[in-house]
Amino acid sequence: MGGPHPTLDVTTVDDGVWRVELGNPRQTERAGFVEGVAKPGDQVIALGNRSQDRTEKRLKAVRITIGEKRYDIYPERIQTN
């Protein structure tokens, strides 16, 4: 996990490759998301805030789901209703 913020490049079926920015390394590791959790070919669901520049395929994640496992990087930012 490198600084300042680790990233994932996620290939989508319909929209090409998206850059998913995670939290700072400590925040990301506290969520349980560590090196090797996501492997090429894994299904990734990212919940977060899209770049204000709509031409960028970039998202700041608050939650990442890999398979059946959820990683809440910023749990206080997740709206439940």
pLDDT in tens, 24-70: 999 999 999 999 999 999 999 999 999 999 999 999 999 999 999 99
Q: Model-level pTM greater than 0.75?
A: yes
Distance CA 26, CA 31 (A): 9
